[in-house]
């Protein structure tokens, strides 16, 4: 099979999540089953490709959702020129996702920021589908402001339900008088005396600066580097460990990641740059 060949995928729905983030629901010509945390290359014909971890449940095979922050050439083109019915390209899935088998029986402590909730939503779906297999699932999520919180319906549902413990915070609620939740960056709500740190696992996904400080916070809380699962983001062109761009030390994020434990990365610079 040609690893550089995308599969045509019809765009079936566009969901505005926040002023800067949109979810695209795609129906690939043939199903592209993925494990939660793996990524795909989404291709806008003639414009280019970019890597994304699907935000939908890995249990849904026929369709996939990809949540995108509009910051680059491909993503801005998606926002400005793409409509329902357009045909995009998808190839993958690539890399290593979250090792759910290793999470079983353990406390799962998840820290997310901004668009980082996209891969985490997929992970949360996967955890909820088999929630009795995990001890406690705690999710700490931070957004820039109340308007920037994505997946508002799901978030609402998770807050009400008792299957997982979700706590939200916003960096600033200055212009949002209705916000009655926490204010401050996500690390300010990352304290849990009840969390079983010793035999637990932690997961971090978000913008690089958030990942850096959340990782430091987790280390501070007592997690060992090999208990901290990071969703790494680097420039990934081929997706299959050949083109070189996403290298960190001896690893290619596309092949050995994107989900990688911090112990593999801590000795290399540029991890969070």
Give residues in contact with other proteins (CB under 8 A): 1-6, 8, 43, 45-50, 71-75, 86-87, 89, 94, 208, 233-235, 237-238, 240-247, 249-250, 255, 269-270, 273
β partners of residue 139: 110, 166
Query: 138 or 234, CB closer to other proteins?
Result: 234
CB of 31 to other proteins, least distance (A): 17
Query: 13 or 73, CB closer to other proteins?
Result: 73
Look at residue 270 and give its three-state secondary structure.
coil
CB of 252 to other proteins, least distance (A): 9
Query: 2 or 132, CB closer to other proteins?
Result: 2
Query: 73 or 191, CB closer to other proteins?
Result: 73
Query: 67 or 227, CB closer to other proteins?
Result: 67
Query: Which of 19, 103, 119, 7 lies closest to 67, judged by CA?
Result: 119
CB of 135 to other proteins, least distance (A): 33
Q: What is the DSSP string of 183-233?
A: ES-GGGG---TTS--TT-EEEEES-HHHHHHHHHHHHHHT--GGGEEEE--
CB of 76 to other proteins, least distance (A): 9
Q: How far apart are CA 141 and CA 185, in angstroms?
A: 9
Distances (CA, A) of 264 to 24, 249, 252: 33, 9, 12
β partners of residue 28: 9
CB of 70 to other proteins, least distance (A): 9
The total number of residues shown for the chain amounts to 273
């Amino acid at each position: 099979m040609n690893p550089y060949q995308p599969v045509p995928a019809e765009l079936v729905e566009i969901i505005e999540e926040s002023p800067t983030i949109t979810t695209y629901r795609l129906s690939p010509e043939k199903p592209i089953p993925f494990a939660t945390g793996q990524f795909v290359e989404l291709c806008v014909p003639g414009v280019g490709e970019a890597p994304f971890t699907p935000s939908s449940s890995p249990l849904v095979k026929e369709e996939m959702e990809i949540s995108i922050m509009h910051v680059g050439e491909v993503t801005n083109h998606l926002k400005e020129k793409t409509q329902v019915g357009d045909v995009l390209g998808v190839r993958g899935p690539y890399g290593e996702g979250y090792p759910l088998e290793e999470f079983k029986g353990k406390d799962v402590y998840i820290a997310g920021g901004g668009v980082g909730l996209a891969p985490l939503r997929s992970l949360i779906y996967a955890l909820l589908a088999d929630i009795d297999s995990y001890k406690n699932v705690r999710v700490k999520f931070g957004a820039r402001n109340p308007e920037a919180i994505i997946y508002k319906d799901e978030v609402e549902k998770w807050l009400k339900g008792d299957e997982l413990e979700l706590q939200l915070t916003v960096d600033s609620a200055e212009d949002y008088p209705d916000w009655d939740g926490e204010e401050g960056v996500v690390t300010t709500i990352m304290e849990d005396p009840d969390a079983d740190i010793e035999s637990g696992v932690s997961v971090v996904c978000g913008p690089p600066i958030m990942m850096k400080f959340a990782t430091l916070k987790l280390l501070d809380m007592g997690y060992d580097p090999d208990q901290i699962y990071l969703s790494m983001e680097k420039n990934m062109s081929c997706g299959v460990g050949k083109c070189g761009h996403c290298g960190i030390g001896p690893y290619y994020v596309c092949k050995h990641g994107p989900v990688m434990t911090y112990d593999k990365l801590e000795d290399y610079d540029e991890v969070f740059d």
